[in-house]
Amino acid sequence: MFTAVLLCAPNTRNLEPALVESLRNAWGGGDAIWLKPDEAAEFALGVMPENLDEVWGSCQAMGVDLVVVPTEGRRKKMLLADMDSTMIEQECIDELADEAGVGARVKDITARAMNGELDFDGALRERVGLLKGLPETVIAKVLAERITLMGGGKTLLATMKTRGAFAALVSGGFTAFTAQVAAELGFDENRANTLLVADGMLTGNVGMPILGKQAKVDALEDITLRLGLTDADVIAVGDGANDLGMLTRAGMGVALHAKPSVAAQCDVRINFGDLTALLFVQGYAADEFIS
């Protein structure tokens, strides 16, 4: 059995009942269940639709995300999340680079690395090298003035944790940022790279080994083994090429506002919804949300 979920951006709430009903009828689905009026609905399916990709494209044109997932085991026991452009709206290294006066150059490297065009480790070392001589105090300034949380993150964490789930933040960014973001959102654990500092200045080097694509998969393996869980118990979310390992390994991998090359390799693609979409695809209705 499968479940089809349709959802839209929470600020537009443009999910039309007519769309849900027409799709349910076309696919021979069960009764529609509204998880949140005008924003998210689901219905049961006996088989995976053969024309899913075609219908998905039509829904995208209407500003609607469409996801079809196995019904069994939808509610996951662990959340494994990327940070930059996933739990926060920015790329922390790009914000630091702006303060260092090399923003445009670093943003270009970041975009190419996240799209899978560059080796992640080499791209990270190159970008960190351009931050050499930046005062360490700038990190706190960027956190206070430039970093904003992705919509729905606090609700996602609070709701899953209330149901007993474990939450881990695993980033190719930096511990100086993950520590604060993890504490603010309620993550149980966070892993990231370390910016090296000497005499109050960034040295232009990053601590080794670099936490990249494989390290996120390692985190999934380490944490599930420690907690007695399996890959199937995990919902992972990210947007960049370095997230693909954990996204394809987890029981449910969510490409959130992801780079095209990343989204193309993921079954669950969220382009309009915020982080509460991860609750809807697990079958949570809005009245079950913990804010």
Q: Is the dihedral of CA 170, 173, 179, 185 positive or negative?
A: negative
Query: Alpha carbon of 229 to those of 79, 104, 164, 218, 248: distances in Å?
Result: 12, 42, 13, 14, 17
First-residue to last-residue Cα distance in the chain: 31
Query: Which listed residue (31, 53, 65, 84) is catalytic?
Result: 84
Q: Based on the residue annotation, tell me whether 84 is a catalytic residue of this protein.
A: yes
| Secondary structure of residue 171 in the 3-state scheme | strand
C-alpha to C-alpha distance for 291 and 111, rounded to whole angstroms: 33
Q: Based on the residue annotation, tell me whether 267 is a catalytic residue of this protein.
A: no
Helix (H) or strand (E) holding 6: strand 2-8
Helix (H) or strand (E) holding 43: strand 40-45
Could you say which DSSP state residue 15 is in?
A: -
Query: Alpha carbon of 156 to those of 35, 36, 102, 152, 159: distances in Å?
Result: 15, 15, 34, 6, 5
Query: Which listed residue (31, 38, 53, 82) is catalytic?
Result: 82
- The catalytic site residues sit at 82, 84
